[in-house]
Amino acid sequence: MDVSDWRAVPFDVRGESVFAVGDVHGCAAQLQALLTEIAGIAGTTRSSTRLVLLGDLIDRGPSSLGVLDIWAQDAGTHGVDRIHRLMGNHEMTLLLAIGDGPHAPRARELWLGEHMGGGAVLAEMRARAGRPEAPLDRALVDATLGSHVTACLFAMEPHLRLGNMLFVHGGLRPRVDVDAYLARPWADFKDAEWAWIMADFLQWKEGFGGTFVVHGHTPPVRHHELTGEDDPHQFIHDRLGLDGGSSRNGIVTAAQIEDGRYRILRALGQPAGAPASRAVSHSRASNSS
């Protein structure tokens, strides 16, 4: 674990201590380590505590089902007063892929493609079910995840507002009506842009009308390509990114946010299949680029 110093910012979270966790992408060991650290910190604070999981729990990493098992546990298990499970574009794509709506064929093709990495999760589900040829459908998801985890997936929130803060997976489009933008339902797939937006959000430097955005979705390497910023986890231009790179570098990142300040918490690991020495080196390089 790595915990930064506190950084002064104009955040208002109504006197609470909020723990926001960025993209996990199947890194179950790192998520558990991070949540254990958060529970320990939460146990020492006198303020109300809230855990916000920013989405993209699944795909690419070694144990997406293990992540979901941890993620679906209740607030008390994680030592906090409230929990919010926000939807990422990866969860959105899976849920659409197992449905029968108009976006199902495209979502299925996208999720099973090499870029999103859903094929590995399908293999996990087939192995857990003991059905190596099982099709990707709602029945397989129900059988392998269980009714509680599946219900949590379908109940994911699109965003959370608290004080002057907005927690959302992808971000905001500049110069649009924020309420209308955030109201787009996840079943609209890529029209629910709050889970997908990247460049237009990150390259905007004029703020969002007094709203401060905490988001995931963009890993450090891509963040640097788009913004030129060396630290992807600094509060700048009214946004704070918490995608640590997870399956690329074995880092799952969170922030503890309080009125007027925040600090970064990182669970350090290694990506699946990487030798330990190489993984540690890459993790440190990614954090500084």
Within 17-151, strands assigned E span 17-21, 49-53, 82-85
Q: Among 151, 132, 126, 137, which residue's Cα sits nearest to residue 65?
A: 126
Q: How far apart are CA 43 and CA 204, in angstroms?
A: 38
182 C-beta neighbours (distance < 10 Å), count: 17
Q: How far apart are CA 289 and CA 287, in angstroms?
A: 6
pLDDT the model gives residue 270: 65
The answer to whether residues 187 and 180 touch, using CB atoms and an 8 Å cutoff, is no
Report the percentage of the chain scoring pLDDT > 70.
Answer: 93
Average per-residue pLDDT for the chain: 92
Mean pLDDT computed over 249-277: 82
Confidence bin at 283 (pLDDT 50/70/90): very low
Mean pLDDT computed over 203-210: 96
pLDDT the model gives residue 271: 56
Mean pLDDT computed over 128-149: 96
Is residue 50 classed exposed, middle or buried when 0-12, 13-18 and 19+ CB atoms within 10 A define those classes? buried
- Residue that the structure tokens 């955030």 belong to: 182
The answer to whether residues 47 and 258 touch, using CB atoms and an 8 Å cutoff, is yes
Mean pLDDT computed over 29-38: 97
The answer to whether residues 87 and 156 touch, using CB atoms and an 8 Å cutoff, is yes
Q: Assign domain 2-105+147-287 to its CATH architecture.
A: 4-Layer Sandwich (3.60)
User: Does position 167 have pLDDT exceeding 60, yes or no?
Assistant: yes
Quick check: pTM over 0.85?
A: yes
Alpha-carbon separation of residue 98 from 31, 87, 160, 180, 217 (angstroms): 26, 16, 26, 27, 22
Q: Where are the domains of the chain?
A: 2-105+147-287
